[in-house]
Amino acid sequence: MPPYMRKIVGLVAASMLLPSTSFSAECNGKVTRAFVTDGGVIYVFLDNGIWGGVTPSDPNYRGALALSTTALVSGRTLTLRINEGACAAGVVTILGVALN
């Protein structure tokens, strides 16, 4: 990855983790699947069984798509900020995304 891309990805990741709302947990994992529905919702699936979606109306939509795709292609882990109490397998509400 070119040096300027690392800076861009870092800035996007940092902007997505700014607390626009409160969250209760950060869950890490490798992305096993990521897809976009015909309605535009991005779904991200982690290797620990956690998965969730980001809607097109979310201000972090483009960043979530970029970071989840980067994590999937590069094999790096992703951190999801969620509003559920713990990182347990199942569907979660994604409030922020960071590339590790």
pLDDT at position 92:
86
Indicate if the pLDDT at residue 32 is higher than 90: yes
Instruction: Give the range of the structural domain holding residue 37, as residue numbers without chain letter.
Output: 3-99
% of the chain exceeding 70 in pLDDT: 77
59: domain CATH number is 2.40.50.70
Distances, alpha carbon 66 to alpha carbons 19, 36, 51, in Å: 19, 12, 17
* pLDDT digits 0-9 by tens, 41-85: 999 999 999 999 999 998 889 999 999 999 999 999 999 988 877
CB 13 within 8 A of CB 67: yes
Number of domains making up the chain: 1
* CA–CA gap between residue 91 and residue 100 (Å, rounded): 21
If we measure between CA atoms, which residue out of 98, 93, 24 comes closest to residue 68?
98
